[in-house]
A and B are shown apart, each in its own frame.
Chain A
Amino acid sequence: MDNKWVIETQDLTKRYGNFTAVDSLNLTLNKGEVFGLLGPNGAGKTTTILMLLGLTERTSGRVQVLGFDPARQPLQVKARVGYLPDQIGFYDDLTARENLSYIAKLNGIPRVEARQRIDSLLARVGLSDVVNKVVGAFSRGMRQRLGVAEVLLKEPQVIIMDEPTLGLDPEAARQFLAMIREMKHEGITIMLSSHLLHQVQAVCDRVGLFQKGRMVLEGPVSELAQKVLGGGYQLHLEVNGQPAPIERALLNLTDVTDVTHAGNRFTVKARRDLRADAARAAIQAGGNLLALDVDAPSLDEIYTQYFQEVEHVHA
C-alpha cells in the first residue's frame, strides 16, 4: 500500500444496470492539492465522489483514500475525510450548535473539546451571532457556511465538496473561495465539483473534465489551454503610430495566430505569453507603446471549445 497519493483510483467503474455512470476512472491527488471536477450534468461527478467516500459501492476497480479502501474501511476514511454534499440539509428544528454537536458526537469528539471547536468554527465562518438560532430560519448562504463549519469539525485531512458555491451570492462565493485557499494553506487536500468555471479556475491547481462517465481531460488549466486552445493567450496593446507596419510586425512573431486592430488598439492571439516580444516588435515598427495587457486562457473558453469540438466530431 503506497501512501504517496492522498486519493488514488484505478479503473474505477460504476454501473447502474446497463448504464455506466463512471467508466474506468484513473485519478490521483497529491497532498495539499485543490482538484476541480468539471463536466456537464450527469457526467458522473457526484457518483465518483460517493464512491470515494464509500457511500456508494463501486462495480469494479480500486480506490484508496489516505491509504484506506472506502468499501472495506469506510469508518477510517470517513473519520478523515470531510464531505459537503451538493444538497446540504440540516435538522431545521435544531440550532446551529445542536446540529454541529450531533455531528461531533457521531465523530466521537469529547464534549468539552467539541464545544470549543464548534465555537471557534462558527466564529470562523461568520455565524457567531446565530449560534443558538434554529437552522430552519437560515438562508442558503448561512447553511452553506454551517456546512463548511461541519466539514472542518472533524479536522479532516481531505475535504470533498459537491457544487459548494451553488446558489451563493458573488460576495459569499468570494469569501468561500478565500476559505478554500485557507484550508489548502493548512495542508488539507481538496476536491470540488462545480459548474462555475471561473471559480474553479481561481482556486484549483488541477482540473479533470468529465464526460459521460470518463475523464476526458486532466491537468492544470494552462496545460489544458495548450491542448485544447493551442495556447489561448490574448494580448491587448495600445500603440500610437502607423497601424499597418505594426500589425505586420506583430503577425510575424512566432506563436502568434491572429492580430486584429481597432484604431490604436491591437488584439493579438498567441500560444504563449508574448508580452515582451510584442512590446519590442511594436516599438521597432515605429509605434509608441501606451499600454500592454494579457488575458490568460480561461477555463470557460477551454470548456466551450472542447465540447464544441466533441459535438463537431459527433455531428
Chain B
Amino acid sequence: MSMLKPALSLPSDQIPGKQSDQPQVTQPATRRGREGSPWTGLWAVVTKDMADHLTSTRMRILEILIVLTAAGTVYAAMQTLRTTVSEDPFLFLKLFTTARDPLPAFVSFLSFLVPLIAIALTFDAVNGEFNQRTLSRVLAQPIYRDALLMGKFLASFFTLTLVLTAIWLLIIGLGILGLGLPPNGEEVVRAFTFLIATIFYGGIWLALALVFSTVFRQPATAALASIAVWLFFIIFWGIVADVVAQVIRPITIGMPQELLAQAELAQTLARFSPNTLYVEAMMGLLHPAVRSFGFVLPSELQGAMLGAPLPLDQSLLLIWPQITGLIAGTLLLFALCYTLFQRQEIRA
C-alpha cells in the first residue's frame, strides 16, 4: 500500500445517506451532527486570500494585459464610430462590440481573457496549501473546511469582480471622454447586466480550476487540465454538438422538420458550453436588435420589424436562461469541489 495514497480514502460512514457497513461504530461521525457555524473564520480566509491575489505578480500581469486590451479595442472602436453616423441610440454599447481591423472587438477578447484570469486565480488554491504544508496547520484552527474552501472561492470571485468592474468603469469613462456624451439609462442597465454575465462566466472557470486544484496535487497539472477543458469548449464543442445532433436526428428524407429538429438539438447541446451561454448573453444584451437565438420562423417575424431594437425587458427575458445557466454552472462546480474537499485526507 502506497504511503502517498491521496484523496478519497475515508470510510463510507462519511458519505451522507450511506449506511456504514461497520456495525461496531458507536458514534458515526456524520457531518450533520457537528456543532458550531461552518462559516467561522470565513472572513479571515477571504481577506487573506484577496490580499494575496491583489499583490501577486500573476495578477499584475493579467491586469496589465486586460487594461491594455480594453484601452486598445475601445480606442479602435471609437475611431470607427466617429466615422459612421452617430444616429445610433446605442452608441455606448458599440464600444464593447465594434471591431476594427486588425483588432477584434473587446467582447471577443473578454471571452478569452476572463477564463484565463479565472483559472489563474484558483488553479493552485487548494493544492498550493497542501504543497506549502500549511493546510493541516490552518485546519487545526477552530474553523471548518467549509470556511476555508468557501473563503478561497469568494476571495477569487471578489478579485475577479473587482478587476472586471474596474475595466467596465474604465471603458465607460473612456467612452464619455471620447464620444463626448454620457450613456443613457438603458445602455447602463444593459452594460451592467453584461458585467454580471461576464463575472459569472468567470465564476464557472474559477470553480472548475478550484475542482482541479482539489483533485490534482500538482498546480501545473491543475492548470493544464483547466486549460484543456477551456480549449475543448472553445474549439471542439461546437463540432461535437453538430456530430452528435447528426447521429441522433439524422436527415433521412430532407423534410424541413427534420432539418429544424437537428439544428435545435445541435443548439441545445452547444449550450452546455459556458462559452455559448456567454456569447448568447452578450449578443442579447449588447445588440438590442437580436430577438432570438433560434431559428426564426416567418410567423414569428410578423409584426416585428426586422432590425428594430428589442425593448430592454424583452432583451433581459431573452438572455435570462443564459445568465441562470452561468450561475447554476458556477454553483454546481463549487458543490462538486466542496464534496471532494470534505472527503480528502489532509495529511500531506
B134:A91 contact, CB within 8 angstroms:
yes
CB of A87 closer than 8 Å to a CB of B: yes
Known A-B contacts A71-B27, A92-B132; the reply to A55 vs B34 at CB < 8 A is: no
B14 interface neighbour in A57, A61, A105, Cβ under 8 Å: A57
Shortest distance from the beta carbon of B348 to any chain A beta carbon, whole Å:
6
A107-B45 Cα distance, complex, nearest whole Å: 11
A89:B137 contact, CB within 8 angstroms:
yes
B26:A102 contact, CB within 8 angstroms:
no
A16:B27 contact, CB within 8 angstroms:
no
B22:A60 contact, CB within 8 angstroms:
yes
Interface residues of B in 17-35 (CB under 8 A from A): 22, 24-27, 29, 33-35
B132:A72 contact, CB within 8 angstroms:
no
CB of A58 closer than 8 Å to a CB of B: yes
B142:A56 contact, CB within 8 angstroms:
no
Known A-B contacts A16-B9, A69-B27, A74-B34; the reply to A90 vs B132 at CB < 8 A is: yes
A62:B27 contact, CB within 8 angstroms:
yes
Task: Report A66-86 CB contacts with B as 1/0, cut-off 8 Å.
Answer: 000101111110110111010
B346 interface neighbour in A19, A55, A74, A147, Cβ under 8 Å: A55
CB of A123 closer than 8 Å to a CB of B: no
Q: For B102, what are the chain A residues with a Cβ–Cβ distance below 8 Å?
A: none
Interface residues of B in 299-343 (CB under 8 A from A): none
A59-B10 Cα distance, complex, nearest whole Å: 9
- Chain A residue with Cβ nearest B55: A93
CB of A163 closer than 8 Å to a CB of B: no
B348 interface neighbour in A15, A78, A87, A103, Cβ under 8 Å: A87
CB of A106 closer than 8 Å to a CB of B: yes
A292-B63 Cα distance, complex, nearest whole Å: 77
CB of A177 closer than 8 Å to a CB of B: no
CB of B176 closer than 8 Å to a CB of A: no
A57:B11 contact, CB within 8 angstroms:
yes
Known A-B contacts A71-B27, A75-B40, A90-B132; the reply to A57 vs B48 at CB < 8 A is: no
Interface footprint category on B: 35 or more
A85 interface neighbour in B9, B13, B36, B140, Cβ under 8 Å: B140
A75-B146 Cα distance, complex, nearest whole Å: 12
CB of A197 closer than 8 Å to a CB of B: no
- Chain A residue with Cβ nearest B133: A89
A72:B27 contact, CB within 8 angstroms:
yes
Q: For A178, what are the chain B residues with a Cβ–Cβ distance below 8 Å?
A: none
Task: Report B136-148 CB contacts with A as 1/0, cut-off 8 Å.
Answer: 1111111110000
CB of B1 closer than 8 Å to a CB of A: yes
A57:B13 contact, CB within 8 angstroms:
yes
Shortest distance from the beta carbon of B57 to any chain A beta carbon, whole Å:
10
CB of B44 closer than 8 Å to a CB of A: yes
B22:A75 contact, CB within 8 angstroms:
no
A55:B24 contact, CB within 8 angstroms:
no
CB of B41 closer than 8 Å to a CB of A: yes
Known A-B contacts A57-B11, A73-B36; the reply to A78 vs B29 at CB < 8 A is: no
Known A-B contacts A15-B11, A59-B25, A91-B132; the reply to A50 vs B36 at CB < 8 A is: no
A4-B268 Cα distance, complex, nearest whole Å: 65
Which of B26, B134, B140 has most chain A Cβ within 10 Å? B140
CB of A157 closer than 8 Å to a CB of B: no
A59-B47 Cα distance, complex, nearest whole Å: 36
B26:A107 contact, CB within 8 angstroms:
no
Interface residues of A in 1-36 (CB under 8 A from B): 15-17, 19
A78:B141 contact, CB within 8 angstroms:
yes
Shortest distance from the beta carbon of A90 to any chain B beta carbon, whole Å:
6
B24 interface neighbour in A60, A79, A90, Cβ under 8 Å: A60
A88:B137 contact, CB within 8 angstroms:
yes
A76:B35 contact, CB within 8 angstroms:
yes
B29:A58 contact, CB within 8 angstroms:
yes
Known A-B contacts A60-B22, A72-B34, A75-B40; the reply to A85 vs B137 at CB < 8 A is: yes
CB of B186 closer than 8 Å to a CB of A: no
Shortest distance from the beta carbon of A61 to any chain B beta carbon, whole Å:
7
Closest 5 CB pairs of A and B: A89-B133, A71-B29, A105-B44, A75-B36, A83-B140
Residues of B whose CB lies within 8 Å of any CB of A are 1, 3, 5, 9-11, 13-14, 22, 24-27, 29, 33-36, 40-41, 44-45, 47-48, 132-134, 136-144, 345-348
17 CB contacts below 8 A, A to B, read A56-B10, A57-B13, A59-B11, A60-B22, A60-B24, A72-B33, A72-B35, A75-B36, A76-B142, A85-B136, A87-B348, A89-B134, A90-B137, A103-B137, A105-B47, A106-B41, A106-B45
Known: A62-B27, A83-B140, A107-B142. 20 other contacts (CB 8 A): A16-B1, A19-B1, A42-B3, A46-B347, A56-B345, A56-B347, A57-B11, A60-B25, A71-B33, A72-B27, A72-B29, A72-B33, A78-B143, A83-B137, A89-B133, A92-B132, A105-B48, A106-B143, A107-B141, A147-B137
